[in-house]
Structure 1
Amino acid sequence: MLRAELYRAFGNKFFFLSLALGIGIAVAHIFQFVIPTSIEESAYIYDFPASAFTRWIGGWSYPVHPDLFYLASPLLAALPFGWSFSTDWNSGYANQVFTRARRCQFLLAKVLASFASAGVAVIAPLIINFLGTACVLPLITPHVTGIGSFMVLPMYFMGDLFFENPLAYLGTYLTISFIAAGLMGCLCFPASLLLSNKYVVICFPFVLCTILASFTSRTSWYSLAPTSFIRAGQDFGPLVPDQALIFCGLAIGVIGFGLLLASRKDYLS
């Protein structure tokens, strides 16, 4: 069951559309910002030269590409497989599966496939952008003497790791991004129990996260919005782990409640 849902999640046109959009932003960032930075003489006259660790799309908030990518991340996460929940209910496909397999097994497989495809759709462009940036700019380990040339400070979340082992810092943030993207994609599941239009369902995580970011970005609760706390550059300030965990806990609770509701025989028939 899980294999079939994973095949559907990673083999449909919406997954490739999401990848195309994300990679398009990532590649545009390389050509419009990273490459010009590498050929500017001014990039190497400061105390700390431009580095791939500090100029990739997740490590520097300039120009528009990082804001555009992270703003669109809930949509990129929902596109690959978020539509399938609503489509399967409306088409009767879910009811046919329920007669042949355990309902909970099918629902759990769908959620896991949605989680995996959403995570890949968001972190794949980030990895491509970093690798592309590393082909242009050197992998110079950041040093505290260069503060002002990058956004992460020693007192920030995992700031010490950023200066000691930036690759480990990058890997940790990609893991955080994968988990957050997976949860954003899975939010389509409870939304599909209330909304019948698959395009509205796909837009639900984007609308929810955008509203959340709008109300928290200028407050001390900025880390509550996933579009804020997955930014490795910590543009809005040091990540507050407790706030990020609150979002993850609430998302898991809502998704779990949706699973419980959908597993009832008298709800979906």
Structure 2
Amino acid sequence: MPAAESPSEIFDRALRRKRRDRAARAYESFVRDHMLEGISERLEGVNRRFRDVLDLGSFGGGFELPGASITRLDAGSIWAAGGTQGEEDQPHFPDASFDLIVSAGVLDSINDVPGALALARRALRPDGLFLGAFLGAGTLATLRACFMAAEADRPAARFHPQIDVRAGGDLLTRAGFALPVSDVETLSVRYASIFGLFRDLRGMAATNLLPGAPPLTRGTLARAAREFAERAGADGRTAERFEIVYLTGWAPDASQPKPAKRGSATASLLDALKPKPPEPR
């Protein structure tokens, strides 16, 4: 059953499902492919064999792991073919169902990110691994600036709130993950026009999902396109940024390393910071 809409929610759930299904007709996967490559690189450093995997927000798939059984969940009905359709911040699986959960490209458009991460931790077995990637703070900085200039008199809510890398780590801790790590990587893409960027965003299902957003007028669009073109380099193309935040966290287990107890240090920080006496000549 679809999740109930709430007036306090950030994103329009029905519109999100519609946009994801529309994107299936002309899916632009390069950002998610980049995320999956980063997730695979982080997996290479883990000396573990994962057998039961959840691809959380699967789009058209793309994530594969030899020897593993992969369950896929997506909010869109087309992407969920052969898997499970549902919202990532709603419960769908029993606790301790998986030993690895990956999520590429969806956490930035989920209404309840802390809830989604808490559900992911519960769905992991003890010492199970979560690897996530999403578009974070700083993404679409050029496009934001263009619309701020185009709508200087009456700016409209056209861009989603964004999560930075530090907040991402805090969210992992809040959800109960052990050994949380967050890091960020910048992907820069050059566009001949603002309309090429729009086409890619539609293909990623990454357009505006804020409820009640005013329609885009021809005048605003023309001014934004002009602002975008004025920021072009010598090659006639304008650079846009995609800031990819990666999250790594483990479901707690007694076998994991623990931080040292408070007061157990054998050296004093104050002594370490004192200036050393000059060496005798």
Tell me the TM-score normalised to structure 1 length: 0.21
Tell me the TM-score normalised to structure 2 length: 0.20
Higher relative contact order (CA 8 A, sep 6+): 1
Question: 1 or 2, which has the higher strand percentage?
Answer: 2
Larger radius of gyration: 2
